[in-house]
Amino acid sequence: MASSGPLYLGFDLSTQQLKGLVVDSSLKKVHDAKFDFDADARGFKINKGVMVNEAEREVFAPVAMWLQAIDVLLTRLRDDGLDFKRVKAISGSGMQHGSVFWNADAEHLLAQLNPNKTLESQLDAAFAHPYSPNWQDASTQKECDEFDSILSNEHQLAYVTGSKAHHRFTGPQILRFQRKYPDKYIKTKRITLVSSWIATVFLGKFAPFDISDVCGMNLWDIKAGTWHEKLLELAAGPSGVEALKQKLGDVPEDGGAHLGTISDYFVRRHGFSDDCTIITSTGDNPSTILALPLRHNDAMVSLGTSTTFLMSTSEYKPDPSTHFFNSPTTPGLYMFMLCYKNGGLARERVRDAINSKSDVMDRTSWAEFDKHLLSTSPLAQDDPSKPMQLGLYFPRPEIIPDLPTGEWHFAYDPKSDTLTRASSVPQSPEQDARVIVESQFLSLRLRSQHLVSSPAKGLPPQPRRVYLVGGGSRNKAIATVAGQVLGGSEGVFKLDVGENACALGAAYKAVWAMEREAGETFEELIGKRWREDEFVERIADGYNKEVWDKYGQAIRGFEQMELTLLGEEEAKRKGQ
Ligand SMILES: Nc1ncnc2c1ncn2[C@@H]1O[C@H](COP(=O)(O)OP(=O)(O)O)[C@@H](O)[C@H]1O
Ligand SMILES: O=C(CO)[C@@H](O)[C@H](O)COP(=O)(O)O
């Protein structure tokens, strides 16, 4: 590694940890460190990074815990050998939709930080509310109904803002907050997203939202490039639109905007150079698509706490069942996204059930899960005369499809197109490993089938490459099933730092923001410096006609299964 030259620091503040990753101008990773909330935080009653109020379906995280994480993480980066003086710019990524409510003392407190004390001990008093509503929150059904109906229907809201109303989206969350805590809302000087919260702390003054993450609020008119007045009016309540606009601030169009230099606190406490520049921070999913020069028809699947499916596209085709966001860097490009709450934690429940039946010492080992995942035949169908096993595993209320907590099983006969309800898979929990992973990928294939195109002559529409990122991308057995269900004419790939893709994308954005020529796009700059042979690894096969066709049949049953359950839920709601 060169011992001089600029370095760029990217952060990822996600559900279960804060990660930091440093690259040089050649895009090579030179340092990384993490702070795991459950393992490392002191003084917070959290589980998997969050707190839960089941009675109101609220999920939230203590903001002070993130402050603790920043100081400790920087110490860990120093222990890893990082020379802070060389860090020329910082950008961040944050779990999407979460909001932080700062009070009127915040700016003063941010500007006066004493380098001999921790952030946590000094900024505790800077918040109008100590908790940040988390993306897993499901408390805002009433507010979502109001958002969907104010522009006539959910289609129209999706057209204007890129998404129909969702529980976790910041607009419905603000509406509920100002009704539940009117005094705290009045005392709120500024609302930041998790992404702009990180930039704020490093800048030492309020930082704006970025042009991509702002699309996760149900408040931003994507085509007009402005706040939507009617939606702001709804969220703002009695204190009015102007007051809310003040709390939200402006949104720079340039995703590489230089917000200013680093707060003196970090110069004096951690040894940063005083000209280190802070760049707008974006959401963790927009940041993920910046971790490589993503090509047309490539798909990224993030296997974090949530599962997300991401594509970069120039076509804006919003629909109530999907999400569109502005690209975080490039005007005219959009990010298409599907998001599921029941990703990593749902798979962990099956892993734990399998491990508790066997004598493995390490209860968190994936070895047994992987063994059953690969030894069970596709759709747990021993021979083609037997029905296919389908299931849904939702320990948390799901986003797509909109179903409550539950676990459901069905056997599907593709010849007669009949679906029969079952109480479990024939061999539980061993076959659940296969059925849950297939279920997650079948849902992605079902919902992305009209967005992908044929990658080569004679092939059915499917991604060219599937890139896996997030914690679950370490797992090659899961990658194998991803390729079987989703295809991928060139196969399934993993970044060499795939579990840190969001932080990597943030660091790359900082490189681009500082080193771009006038008019040079992110794709151009990163494309020139990217070294495919060093940065990605092919970890599994993709398209295989026989198994692809089998899953093509299963999708019909999968769709029927979802429609059956949605119909039952609807009937329950009407019967209430
Ligand atoms: N070897 C593995 N196999 C499958 N899943 C894994 C493996 N290692 C980690 N994970 C999953 O990764 C998840 C965390 O992913 P990560 O992207 O780091 O989280 P975050 O949502 O905080 O960004 C954990 O919940 C765990 O289920
Ligand atoms: O809500 C969404 C996207 O809409 C989630 O994807 C969050 O952004 C959290 O991500 P992870 O912690 O799973 O990375």
472 within ligand 1 shell (Cβ under 6 A): yes
The torsion angles phi and psi of 429, rounded to 5 degrees, stand at -95, 0
Q: Is the model's pLDDT at 1 over the cut of 70? A: no
Domains and CATH numbers, the chain: 291-342+449-540 (3.30.420.40)
| Confidence check on the interface: ipTM exceeds 0.90, yes or no | yes
Q: Is the model's pLDDT at 3 over the cut of 80? A: no
Q: For residue 284, which atom of ligand 2 is closest to its CA? A: 8
Ligand 1 centroid to 407 CA: how many Å?
21
Ligand 1 centroid to 100 CA: how many Å?
25
Q: Which two tokens stand for residue 303?
A: 């296997």
Q: In this predicted structure, what is the pLDDT of residue 575?
A: 84
Q: In this predicted structure, what is the pLDDT of residue 57?
A: 95
Percent of the chain residues past pLDDT 90, beyond the cut: 96
Closest-approaching ligand to the CA atom of 18? 1
Closest-approaching ligand to the CA atom of 303? 1
- Rounded Cα distance between 331 and 321, Å, is 24
Substitution candidate for ligand 2 out of 308, 310, 469 with most atoms within 8 A of CB: 308
Ligand 1 centroid to 306 CA: how many Å?
9
- Rounded Cα distance between 179 and 72, Å, is 36
Of 480, 306, 521, 332, nearest to 399 by C-alpha is 306
- Mean pLDDT computed over 265-271: 97
Substitution candidate for ligand 2 out of 302, 305, 400 with most atoms within 8 A of CB: 305
Mark residue 353 as left, alpha or beta (left: phi above 0; alpha: psi -120 to 50; beta: remaining).
alpha
Helix, strand and coil content of the chain, in percent to the nearest 5, comes to: 40, 20, 35
- Mean pLDDT computed over 255-271: 98
pLDDT, tens digit, 9 for 90 and up, residues 556-570: 999 999 999 999 999
Contact 110, 193 (CB under 8 A): no
Residue predicted with more confidence, 361 or 275: 275
Q: Which two tokens stand for residue 526?
A: 């990163």
Q: For residue 16, which atom of ligand 1 is closest to its CA? A: 22
Contact 147, 156 (CB under 8 A): no
Substitution candidate for ligand 1 out of 12, 16, 284 with most atoms within 8 A of CB: 16
- Under the banding of pLDDT at 50, 70 and 90, the label for residue 573 is confident
Ligand 1 centroid to 53 CA: how many Å?
24
Q: Is the model's pLDDT at 99 over the cut of 60? A: yes
- Rounded Cα distance between 398 and 443, Å, is 12
Q: Is the model's pLDDT at 551 over the cut of 90? A: yes
Percent of the chain residues past pLDDT 70, beyond the cut: 99
Closest-approaching ligand to the CA atom of 341? 2
24-28, 344-348, 496-500, 549-553: which range is least confident on average? 496-500
Average pLDDT, the chain: 96
Q: Is the model's pLDDT at 8 over the cut of 70? A: yes
341 within ligand 2 shell (Cβ under 6 A): no
Cis peptide bond N-terminal to 429, omega within 30? yes
pLDDT, tens digit, 9 for 90 and up, residues 435-445: 999 999 999 99
Beta bridge partners of 308: 302, 339
- Rounded Cα distance between 87 and 356, Å, is 46
Substitution candidate for ligand 1 out of 305, 364, 440, 481 with most atoms within 8 A of CB: 305
Ligand 2 centroid to 150 CA: how many Å?
26
Closest-approaching ligand to the CA atom of 282? 2
Q: For residue 14, which atom of ligand 2 is closest to its CA? A: 12
Segments in 249-343 forming alpha helices (H): 264-270, 284-288
Contact 11, 19 (CB under 8 A): yes
Contact 215, 171 (CB under 8 A): no
Ligand 1 centroid to 121 CA: how many Å?
30
What angle (nearest 5°) sits at the alpha carbon of residue 262, between those of residues 506 and 202? Answer: 60
Closest-approaching ligand to the CA atom of 97? 2
435 within ligand 2 shell (Cβ under 6 A): no
Ligand 2 centroid to 421 CA: how many Å?
32
- Is the pTM of the predicted complex or chain greater than 0.90? yes
The torsion angles phi and psi of 471, rounded to 5 degrees, stand at -50, -40
- Rounded Cα distance between 569 and 404, Å, is 8
**375: Cα separation from own chain's centroid:** 31
352 within ligand 1 shell (Cβ under 6 A): no
> In this structure, how many other beta carbons lie within 10 angstroms of the beta carbon of residue 152?
9
Q: In this predicted structure, what is the pLDDT of residue 2?
A: 57
Going by CA atoms, what residue is nearest to atom 9 of ligand 2?
A: 95
Write out the H or E segment, with its range, that includes residue 13. strand 7-13
